[in-house]
């Protein structure tokens, strides 16, 4: 609600026009460039969706093959970035690692830092290389073998190869592919808006993505699926779900993975990921997370009338895929970079500096007091 003419958090404020993403919060629909997310998640790959976000249309077979080849060719890290990663302490926050490396890449990729149509090269480069950055960092701290090129792998398969070093099954690759598609864009969320604000100053794409990563690091935007998995650790068994959740609600604690500022019904991404959590758990003979989540979901809906959002089931899928929890949010970034860069490219096409105003609520006309006469407050 507006308070004194101020719309707190810019809720429901229309800041710009875009052709990239549409959220129908009342009907629970998510649209990328005119295509329903349900159909894209069922029939497309992440590479197809990234092409759609960047170019505004689905690719032909030749265009898709060309994109896959380009992305695979851009995965390698420049030697200076490898040196930076070698200096990162194992305890470093992976989002800090991503932010630092993206910022450093801007220095090494000067042709891609000029704002405008040529920035599509930077979009491809960052989408290709973020999983490599995470892979190098995680492998070093985990004592795993050095990340080797695998140009024949799809983007989702490359992500799993980079983070795990073990061969992934077809089902595992498809599960991650769907998750990457669902996280690719979501209209003017905080990190995307930060990227567009940066781009509106005519700064470069790498700076815009650095802004977005820094914004996503904040726990009010990223990391909810990690908190969901911590809740499941606390619950332990489905029989304890009601007791634990009701006690938290009685203490007015927030249960992560529920509710959304835009959706008034269930987040369509949650609907899709729920099924993938079940399917992957069933294939691995481990439905524990799925069963716990279903119990938590029923209690929260009964008590608060809240519906799941994308974060409720994504953590269980990442866990079943063998991805460490502290890489959940960086993995989100590795997907969302396709959407961030699409928005930056769109911003360059219709530039207007984003500069809102604020309502001043402080004092006016204070009398200046010389320093020798001031007293401590």
Cite the active site residues. Answer: 221, 260, 311
Task: Return all residues near 253 (Cβ < 8 A) that are at least 6 apart.
Answer: none
Look at phi and psi of residue 365 and say left if phi exceeds 0, alpha if psi is from -120 to 50, else beta.
left
> ∠ CA 369-375-377 to the nearest 5 degrees?
110
End-to-end CA distance of the chain: 35
Q: E strands, the chain, where?
A: 2-3, 6-7, 21-24, 29-32, 35-36
Give the integer Cα–Cα distance in Å for 121 and 104.
16
Give the integer Cα–Cα distance in Å for 299 and 231.
13
Give the orientation angle of helix 311-320 with respect to helix 170-182, to 10 degrees. 150
* Cα–Cα nearest to 306, from 270, 266, 268, 262: 266
By the 8 A CB rule, do 159 and 176 touch? Answer: yes
By the 8 A CB rule, do 315 and 229 touch? Answer: yes
By the 8 A CB rule, do 162 and 134 touch? Answer: yes
Q: What own/partner pairs with CB < 8 Å and gap ≥ 24 does 313-316 have?
A: 313/257, 313/270, 313/273, 313/274, 313/276, 313/277, 314/179, 314/183, 314/225, 314/273, 315/225, 315/226, 315/228, 315/229, 316/228, 316/229, 316/232, 316/277, 316/281, 316/289, 316/290
């Amino acid at each position: 609600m507006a308070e004194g003419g101020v719309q707190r958090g810019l809720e429901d404020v229309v800041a710009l026009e875009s052709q990239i993403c549409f959220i129908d919060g009342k009907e629970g629909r998510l649209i990328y460039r005119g295509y329903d997310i349900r159909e894209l998640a069922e029939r497309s790959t992440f590479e197809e969706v990234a092409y759609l976000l960047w170019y505004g249309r689905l690719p032909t077979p030749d265009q898709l093959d060309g994109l896959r080849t380009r992305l695979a060719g851009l995965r390698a890290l420049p030697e200076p970035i490898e040196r930076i990663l070698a200096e990162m302490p194992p305890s470093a926050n992976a989002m800090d690692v991503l932010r630092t490396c993206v910022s450093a890449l801007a220095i090494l990729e000067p042709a891609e830092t000029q704002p405008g149509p040529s920035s599509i090269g930077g979009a491809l480069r960052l989408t290709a290389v973020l999983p490599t950055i995470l892979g190098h960092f995680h492998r070093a701290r985990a004592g795993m073998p050095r990340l080797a090129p695998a140009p024949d792998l799809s983007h989702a398969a490359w992500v799993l190869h980079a983070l795990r070093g073990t061969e992934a099954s077809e089902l595992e690759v498809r599960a991650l592919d769907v998750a990457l598609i669902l996280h690719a864009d979501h209209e003017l969320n905080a990190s995307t808006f930060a990227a567009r604000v940066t781009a509106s100053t005519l700064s470069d794409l790498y700076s815009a993505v650095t802004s977005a990563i820094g914004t996503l690091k904040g726990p009010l935007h990223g990391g909810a699926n990690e908190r969901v998995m911590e809740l499941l650790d606390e619950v332990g068994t489905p029989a304890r779900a009601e007791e634990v959740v009701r006690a938290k609600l009685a203490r007015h604690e927030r249960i992560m993975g529920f509710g959304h500022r835009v959706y008034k019904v269930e987040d369509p991404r949650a609907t899709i990921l729920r099924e993938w959590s079940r399917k992957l758990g069933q294939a691995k003979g481990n439905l524990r997370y799925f069963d716990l989540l279903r119990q938590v979901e029923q209690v929260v809906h009964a008590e608060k009338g809240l519906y799941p959002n994308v974060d409720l089931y994504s953590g269980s899928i990442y866990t079943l895929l063998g991805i460490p929890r502290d890489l959940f949010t960086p993995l989100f970034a590795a997907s969302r970079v396709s959407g961030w860069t699409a928005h930056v490219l769109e911003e360059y096409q219709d530039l207007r500096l984003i500069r809102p105003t604020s309502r001043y609520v402080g004092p006016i006309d204070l009398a200046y007091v010389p320093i020798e006469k001031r007293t401590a407050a």
